Amino acid sequence: MIKPILLLTALISSAAAFAQTPPSPVTAYVNAHLLPVSGAPLEQATILVTKGKITAVGAHVSIPAGAIRVDLHGATVIPGLVDASSSLFVTAETIAGNGTADQNVLDGIDPFDKSAEKALAAGVTTVYISPGSRGGVGGLGAIVKLQNGAQGTAATGAPVGEVVLKPKAGLELAIGLSTGGRSTSLERIGSYESMRTMFIGAQQYQKQQEKSELAKKAAAAKPNPPAPGAPNGVAPEEDSDPTGPVSILEPAADSGSPESPQGQRRQPGRNPGAGRPTQTATPRAQPAQEVLVSALKGDITVRIEAHRADDILNALRLADEFHLKLVLESPTEAATVLHELATHRVGIVWEPLQRSGPPQLDTIRYRPQTAGALDLKGVKLAVSPRGESGLSTRFVLAAAAVAASNGLSHEAALRAITLGAAEVLGVADRVGSIQVGRDADMVILSGSPWDPDTKVKQVIVNGAQAYVSH
């Protein structure tokens, strides 16, 4: 298993041998047809990048003296693409067997996955690495920035840890998934009750830990009690008579030599417990329960895969009861509960490309128009291929195009793989749009993102060239 600290180094050192251009203090990309996503399209736009961050955007930007000018000659610029549910870097061993809440996907991934090169060449710069549901509890996912070997080094001034944006970005769960080719209502309600019991147990664990901490603080703050027979808490001189009676507070053992602890007798006036605060034992921390407690506090997003309408509603019930920050993955029958989804304001990761193989009960009622219906209801939407292979991540733009061909507008489709996906992941302050203060993650295209003949010309990550077409 590869530990996170090793992963940070490996992800950087194993990147493809792309052409690398370290960023200058200020770089000005001029004459761009800009689709910033966070605002209206701009013609002949200028984008200023300083130390990996976007510092100015507009049609009339003043370029400082000494800045490096990069003329894009009208090329289309969009934000770096975001895959909100990727299998990139994930190995078969990572997703084998049943998961536990504290299993972190970063501990068992392959940082040398060659699929990352192809994803980056397709314009994908940020991915949420999912451990999968694995029979109910999948563990912790992570958000990773795809970067080349020039990133995260002293040469750019960026810390090495920037390659991982969030190491504990989501707790993966699943409700009601069919097994053995069947899925009854009783089995699905049983799946919900099992999940509910898990969170109730985490609440009890949290109360025990909090009670123990309060007891420790109270014991530490309590003044020391006086020793028995001591005025004002001052212990009297010890009686030198070694034949004094044995203390009834701590009887001597039946056997043992006078020199051994078992054979020692208490002397008058000597009470080792007197004058000391009571020690309260703290229950041992349980890693899986600690993760669940973080989810209860809202520090970790809970991502639940739920396909059937009743499973989707059960996931919403869990969010209501335990105040969870909820994201639903592949809610196949979401169109039948649009009102409930819009009311709860949950994030959705929609999968517009059906997987190969025989039809499954979970997805038998799949409707490709659902993404458009979710968008019209104002639901926070991300689009992802959600493939079982890391190679699927390179088809993020294609997945958005499929959604656009089934009722989702082009503007909403682009947002669903950039800013919308970043909002679902909780990293919209860093990635997903081209605006001041965001990371300089940009994709330079030969034409419209929806033209099948369009090619990726360059990919910029944190202000540095991460990929250039040949």
CA distances, 95 to each of 106, 134, 292, 312, 396 (Å) = 12, 7, 20, 24, 22
Q: What is the pLDDT of residue 181?
A: 64
Q: CATH number of the domain at 86, please.
A: 3.20.20.140
Q: For position 110, what pLDDT does the model report?
A: 83
Q: What is the mean pLDDT of the chain?
A: 82
Confidence at residue 355, expressed as pLDDT on a 0 to 100 scale: 63
Identify the pLDDT of residue 373.
96
Residue 447, in any domain of the structure: no
User: Rounded to the nearest 5 degrees, what angle is found at the Cα of 66, between the Cα atoms of 60 and 67?
Assistant: 50
Q: Please choose, from the candidates 64, 145, 172, 37, the residue with its C-alpha nearest in 3D space to the C-alpha of residue 449.
A: 37
How far apart (Å, rounded) are the C-alpha atoms in residues 422 and 381? 10
In a domain, 167, yes or no: yes
Q: How many domains does the chain have?
A: 1
Query: What integer pLDDT is reported at residue 160 of this predicted model?
Result: 32
Instruction: Please report the pLDDT score of residue 361 as a whole number.
Output: 79
Q: Is residue 373 part of a domain?
A: yes
Residue 345 belongs to domain spanning: 81-218+284-431
Query: Mutual orientation of helices 309-322 and 185-221 as an angle, nearest 10°?
Result: 10
Would residue 427 count as lying in a domain? yes
Query: How many whole angstroms from its chain centre is CA 362?
Result: 25
Q: What share of the chain is helix, strand, coil (3-state, %, to 5)?
A: 30, 20, 50
Q: 20, 25, 23: which is closest to 66 by C-alpha?
A: 25
Does 358 reside within a domain?
yes
| DSSP-derived secondary structure letter, 97 | S
> Which residue stretches of the chain have pLDDT < 70?
1-24, 92-98, 133-134, 148-162, 180-181, 224-282, 354-359
- pTM tops 0.85, yes or no: no
